[in-house]
């Protein structure tokens, strides 16, 4: 969509890219607090939302939110800081 492309271009100009990270049962992120995951990522990702396996989306989730297998973490990733 035009709005989606516009947002993508704007994020790109800021050095950011939106991504969805699937949380599998063997994921390093599974059963951990969001704040801990962000801290371990060293500023490379900024959590935007958690799409819950059982349905629903937690927008602007708190650092204490637990990431569960089957969830998807929506993040802004800093481009060039892989």
Answering whether pTM is above 0.75, one says yes
Q: Read off the tokens for 49.
A: 């939302």
Q: For each of the chain's 82 residues, which pLDDT tens digit applies?
A: 567 788 888 888 888 999 999 999 999 999 999 999 999 999 899 999 999 999 999 999 999 999 999 999 999 998 875 5
User: 64: burial class by Cβ within 10 Å (0-12, 13-18, 19+)?
Assistant: exposed
pLDDT score recorded for residue 1: 56
Helix (H), strand (E), coil (C) string for 24-73:
CCCCCCCCEEHHHHHHHCCCCEEEEEEECCCCCEEECCCCCCEECCCCEE
């Amino acid at each position: 969509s035009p709005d989606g492309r516009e947002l993508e271009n704007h994020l790109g100009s800021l050095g950011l890219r939106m991504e969805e990270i699937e949380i599998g049962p063997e994921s390093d992120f599974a059963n951990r607090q969001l704040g801990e995951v962000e801290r371990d990522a060293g500023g490379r990702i900024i959590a935007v939302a958690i799409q819950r396996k059982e349905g629903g989306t937690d927008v602007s989730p708190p650092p204490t939110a637990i990431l569960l297998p089957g969830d998807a973490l929506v993040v802004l990733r800093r481009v060039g800081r892989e």
